Amino acid sequence: MSHSSNLFAPPRILGYRSLIKPFIMGCALLLIFSSCEQDDAKTPIADPASEYAMYYKILTFLEQKEGKPITQPVLTPRTTYSPLDILDYVEGGMNLQYTDSRLSWASYDVRTDTFTVALSSGYASQQAMEDLFDEIEDTASVHFYGISEPDKFPFLYDATNISNSLSLMTLSVTSRVGKVHRDPTPFGSTDYWHAIYNGKCDNSSSSNSASSKIADALNDYFAPVGCVFFTQIATYNPNDLKNYGWGGINPNDLVSGDFINDFLTFRFYCYDPNELLDTDCDPINDMPCETWDEGYLGVTFDDIECLDPDEMNYYFSSIVSIYSNFLDAHYGKMHCGSDLYSSDDLGISCFGFYDYFWWGSIQFGTPNSCIESSFPTYLPICC
């Protein structure tokens, strides 16, 4: 970086004695200002705002683990950790350092690994906790750097307590890595997507289906504003959200029984008497509903397979309402991420009855405010 030279006018020549007093005063003021700046830089916030409590809790653990000066020494570092503490520090530390919840994601690569940590009277020591965190970081690093596809970035880390006793805790950590997604929503005039199979309805090549495109839109819609990381994450599937509307009947459907927006979330079923003896429930090979009597409700499989932009926007807004119903009933929780996909053969019955719907995993967790800093960073290369 180049610096321009500062040009000054020649000073007036003053007597030696006349310069001593201003010089001393100037030095004194300079020392005072310098001392104040250093104090400001070193002095922690005595009582951090409540929304940053978890942030400083996690940050203190990471700084202590790495032997760095503690940013907030008023928060006494822990020396023992309960099973609940362990989950908070694993999820909080991994999500704070390596994920950015302000981005949205697609094309997930998911891996779940199991870990154990020794406990003494139900608590892990500081060293045991640090060793566990190092092991989880290494495993996450192997997962992340083992993905050859470009534009991937960690999306979420979710820790689950499998079991614990007074002497041992077993936990699993799910590492979800996604491809950064920046497509606009809601859906426009060209968004005709296959409801069950991958790709656009004009048969153009694509790895996305309607359900995955809507999941992308949901992740965009619920992305938090500002610096946020998650703890106390729980994973749900559509069955868990039935009480909040998933799979329910659309009360505002104009034409009942045509399987166009009949339900709040996508579902299509059919009965084909010609397939009564068929025990091979492979919809891709059999396409059973193509032979369905077209006079019955006047629909064919092809009518259902392709969702037009209005249907895409309907299912998107419907699922937003379902999530909002869930969040209203779980105060303090926030949507972390959705990964939806077509059922393929999930839920399809043989002997003439076929049921197609969307499945997936949805994460809700506790959002924690954090101060803009150097986070997130890249995972360290392991091994």
Residues 166-211 have pLDDT tens digits of 999 999 999 999 887 766 678 999 899 988 877 888 766 667 889 9
Q: Shortest CA distance to 218 belongs to which of 110, 316, 341?
A: 316
Q: Which residue has the tokens 């790709």?
A: 199
pLDDT at 48: 66
pLDDT at 320: 96
Other beta carbons within 10 angstroms of residue 139's beta carbon come to 18
pLDDT at 14: 35
Question: How many CA atoms lie less than 13 Å away from 296 in the CB half-sphere?
Answer: 11
Q: Shortest CA distance to 171 belongs to which of 233, 99, 215, 219?
A: 233
Contact criterion met (CB below 8 Å) for 378 and 99 = no
Of the chain, the end-to-end C-alpha distance in Å amounts to: 37
Q: Quick one: fold of 78-182?
A: Translation Initiation Factor IF3 (3.30.110)
Residue 226, Cα to own-chain centre: how many angstroms? 14
Q: Domain coordinates of the chain in residue numbers?
A: 78-182, 184-383
pLDDT at 198: 79
pLDDT tens track for 232-288: 999 999 999 999 999 999 998 888 777 788 899 998 776 655 555 555 544 444 444
Contact criterion met (CB below 8 Å) for 133 and 340 = no
pLDDT at 383: 73
Q: Shortest CA distance to 58 belongs to which of 231, 233, 234?
A: 231
What is d(CA 105, CA 363) in angstroms, rounded to the nearest whole number?
13
| φ and ψ at residue 359, rounded to 5 degrees | -125, 180
Contact criterion met (CB below 8 Å) for 112 and 180 = no
Contact criterion met (CB below 8 Å) for 181 and 220 = yes
> What 8-state DSSP symbol labels residue 158?
E
Residues of the chain with pLDDT under 50: 1-43, 281-288, 290-298, 345-348
Question: How far are the Cα atoms of 196, 259, 300 from residue 297, in angstroms, in the given order?
Answer: 20, 9, 9
Contact criterion met (CB below 8 Å) for 112 and 222 = no
The count of residues in the chain is 383
> What 8-state DSSP symbol labels residue 225?
S
pLDDT at 183: 67
Which helix (DSSP H) or strand (DSSP E) does residue 22 occupy?
helix 16-42
Sequence-ordered list of residues with C-beta below 8 angstroms from that of 376, at least 6 positions apart, any chain: 96, 97, 98, 99, 100, 154
